[in-house]
């Protein structure tokens, strides 16, 4: 990417698709890999998020541990969001949760491996609450003997916590959203580089009692949230909902506009849960 477009031009372009607010009782959760943006781009990202009337709950992954991440969190606060920034040590990236609803209270996931990549909160508006877990799994790679070590460690640790997360949530809906750096089995196109252990991580969500929200609504659709240099697409960004609350899933769509405008190399994913009619 060779520089950003003028910020005003970007927001005008992206604002053309800004939707109306849905019915009361809906939770609008937007997850987006922000590509460790520097300060200027972080502020533009926050402005784009704030002007979307459907972005009440944010799960932002690959937030840089440094000036860019600090600028993003501060800009979100200035736009009226409550922001949860986990303590990050020994890593370049973290996950941020933010909301502009009535309540956001931290929840302990119990992760002992890179917990700053998996923050959680109980988020409430009116009588309805949802437990939201943001997750950013390390990408593949690493030098020599360290290749894929961090990715395996985070996947194994989080998969082990999933059953307790479900149990602890009780009757409260649970959502896990973020850049999992994993593909579903049968992903189109197929990418040979991914191993059985990575597909098993995707399967762990269903085994624990969560539903892939996008697949629940779009069983056959081919959609991607990131594209490689050769133009091949990958659906890395996901939203999972506790199976007993799957009837509340109303929309789950990928927003390509911020990727095409150069705000990040990832599309955003928007998940809407509506409990008013459930």
pLDDT at residue 229 in the model: 85
Region for 203 from its dihedrals, namely left if φ exceeds 0, alpha if ψ lies in -120 to 50, beta otherwise: alpha
Q: How many CA atoms lie within 13 A of 174 on its CB side?
A: 23
Report the greatest alpha carbon distance in the chain: 53
Asked whether the beta carbons of 158 and 136 are under 8 A apart, the reply is no
Going by C-alpha positions, the residue among 73, 80, 157 that lies closest to residue 113 is: 157
Sign of the four-CA dihedral 33, 35, 38, 44: negative
* Percent of the chain whose predicted confidence (pLDDT) is above 90: 79
Sign of the four-CA dihedral 178, 180, 181, 182: negative
Cα–Cα distance, 125 to 116 (Å, whole number)? 25
Confidence category of residue 276, pLDDT binned at 50, 70, 90: confident
pLDDT at residue 17 in the model: 44
Interaxial angle between packed helices 39-51 and 7-15, expressed in degrees from 0 to 180 and rounded to the nearest 10: 30
Cα–Cα distance, 162 to 81 (Å, whole number)? 28
pLDDT at residue 14 in the model: 52
Going by C-alpha positions, the residue among 78, 95, 14 that lies closest to residue 43 is: 78
pLDDT tens for each residue of 103-151: 999 999 999 999 999 999 999 998 899 999 999 999 987 666 677 899 9
Average pLDDT, rounded, for the chain: 90
pLDDT tens for each residue of 15-67: 444 444 445 678 999 999 999 999 999 999 999 999 998 999 999 999 999 99
Pick the CATH number of 24-274 from 3.60.10.10, 3.20.20.150, 3.40.50.1220, 3.40.50.720: 3.60.10.10
pLDDT tens for each residue of 221-252: 999 999 998 889 999 999 999 999 999 999 99
Q: Which residues does residue 212 pair with via DSSP β-bridges, in sequence order?
A: 240
Write down the pTM of the prediction. Answer: 0.91
DSSP 82-99: EEE-----S-SEEEEEEE
The backbone torsions φ and ψ at residue 72, rounded to the nearest 5 degrees and listed phi first, read -65, -50
């Amino acid at each position: 990417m060779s520089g950003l477009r003028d910020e005003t031009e970007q927001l005008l372009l992206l604002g053309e698709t800004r939707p109306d607010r849905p019915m009361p009782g809906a939770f609008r959760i937007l997850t987006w890999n922000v590509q460790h943006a520097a300060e200027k781009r972080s502020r533009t990202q926050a402005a784009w998020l704030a002007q979307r009337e459907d972005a009440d709950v944010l799960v932002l992954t690959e937030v840089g541990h440094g000036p860019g991440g600090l600028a993003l969190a501060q800009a979100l606060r200035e736009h009226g969001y409550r922001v949860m920034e986990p303590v990050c040590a020994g890593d370049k990236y973290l996950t941020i949760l933010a909301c502009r609803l009535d309540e956001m209270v931290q929840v302990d996931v119990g992760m002992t491996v890179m917990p700053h990549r998996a923050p959680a909160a109980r988020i409430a508006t009116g009588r309805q609450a949802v437990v939201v877990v943001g997750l950013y799994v390390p990408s593949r790679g690493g030098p020599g003997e360290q290749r894929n070590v961090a990715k395996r460690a985070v996947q194994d640790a989080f998969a082990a916590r999933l059953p307790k997360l479900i149990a602890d949530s009780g009757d409260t809906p649970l959502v896990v959203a973020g850049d999992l750096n994993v593909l579903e089995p049968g992903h189109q196109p197929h990418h040979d580089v991914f191993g059985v252990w990575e597909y098993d991580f995707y399967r762990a969500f269903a085994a624990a009692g969560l539903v892939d929200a996008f697949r629940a609504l779009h069983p056959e659709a081919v959609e991607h949230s990131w594209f490689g240099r050769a133009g091949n697409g990958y659906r890395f960004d996901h939203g999972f909902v506790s199976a007993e609350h799957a009837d509340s899933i109303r929309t789950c769509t990928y927003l390509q506009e911020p990727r095409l405008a150069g705000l990040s190399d990832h599309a955003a994913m928007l998940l809407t849960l509506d409990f008013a009619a459930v």
